[in-house]
Amino acid sequence: MTSSQRAIRLGTRASALATTQSGHIADRLRAETGVEVELVTISTEGDRSSAPLATMGGTGVFVAALREALIRGEIDLAVHSLKDLPTTPDPHLVLAAVPRREDPRDVLVARDGLTLGELPQGARVGTGSPRRAAQLNALGLGVEVLPIRGNVDTRIAKMRAGDYDGVLLARAGLLRLGRADEATEIIDPLQMLPAPGQGALACECRVDDDATTRLLERLDDSDTRAAVTAERSLLATLEAGCSAPVGALAEIAEGDDGDELWLRAVVGDVSGAPTIRLSATGKPSEAAAVGERLAVEMLAEGADALVAVATS
């Protein structure tokens, strides 16, 4: 970088997980492009409020302030957890990079090293996610699902203090924080599908900022982008936000005629019933169409009523 080039300003939430994620992107940009990157912390509505996400509108509460700062030119790019990003595009912004995804699965962090199957009847399990609550209740384990807010530290601390017997978290966050060994069980997606986009990061910049767009494109991972495109297309077609009980996971696998995209999805009710669970396959290049097609099939099975109840 020459002395005339200023540092790229990367906007991030101030939490330990957000700054760790953003720091990883900053390090990659420095290593792969030679530019200097300055982290700029920005407070979001989701960080300032302790209210349940569903009562705050859910979608966008962790990203709106970052996107507004980006549009105003106060920062040059923003790094989000992709699952927090609304599916409706903003005409001022471009999703310039979706780096390689971390493990998208959910985990349990429980007292005494317990797994879900080992939790006693009536055990208190904390989650702020209607999606996790719906799928946990659908397993019929007889546990009590209770709301919880706060960052990873706060949630695990509440469990250690005895407020909960276990908490459900994203494994990607624990991995990025170097705390993966605190999970007492990695939950199989057959039991609990993750949120659409979980484990992936979104790097946004202004649509007219060609220089930053070109820099970020070097970080893009085509398989991850195809997978999250399918998941987010499904979410958009269902017209469900990030607070709706919708789980989805797309994976790229080698098929007889080249790579194949396999998408699994679930729409549930927080009570645990009813639950609609379907899957679809297609080419990675047709990821958006695969997601839309599966969503249409789920809507035909009654998913619209479940989403409407969750978002009303």
pLDDT per residue over 143-171, tens digit each?
999 999 999 999 999 999 999 999 999 99
Q: Which residues contact 181 (CB under 8 A, 6 or more apart)?
A: none
pLDDT per residue over 270-292, tens digit each?
999 999 999 999 999 999 999 99
| pLDDT score recorded for residue 119 | 98
pLDDT per residue over 60-96, tens digit each?
778 999 999 999 999 999 999 999 999 999 999 999 9
d(CA 96, CA 254): 26
| pLDDT score recorded for residue 2 | 39
pLDDT per residue over 124-138, tens digit each?
999 999 999 999 999
Domain(s) of CATH 3.40.190.10: residues in the chain: 8-99+200-220, 106-186
Choosing among 3.30.1490.100, 3.30.160.40, 3.40.50.620, 3.30.300.30, the CATH entry for 227-311 is 3.30.160.40
Mean pLDDT value of segment 194-206: 97
Given a contact cutoff of 8 angstroms between Cβ atoms, the answer to whether 241 and 58 are in contact is yes
Mean pLDDT value of segment 202-207: 98
Instruction: Report residue 232 as tokens.
Output: 């987010």
84: annotated active-site residue: yes
Fold of 106-186: D-Maltodextrin-Binding Protein; domain 2 (3.40.190)
Please determine, for residue 198, whether its predicted confidence score (pLDDT) is greater than 50: yes
pLDDT per residue over 14-66, tens digit each?
999 999 999 999 999 999 999 999 999 998 765 554 555 554 445 577 899 99
Name the nearest CA neighbour of 254 among 233, 223, 221: 223
User: Max alpha carbon distance in the chain (Å)?
Assistant: 65
Assign 312 a pLDDT band (cuts: 50, 70, 90).
low
Q: What is the CATH number of domain 8-99+200-220?
A: 3.40.190.10
Give the strand order in the sheet containing 275-282.
246-255, 258-268, 275-282
Please determine, for residue 256, whether its predicted confidence score (pLDDT) is greater than 90: no
Domain(s) of CATH 3.30.160.40: residues in the chain: 227-311
Q: Which of 27, 47, 76, 84 is catalytic?
A: 84
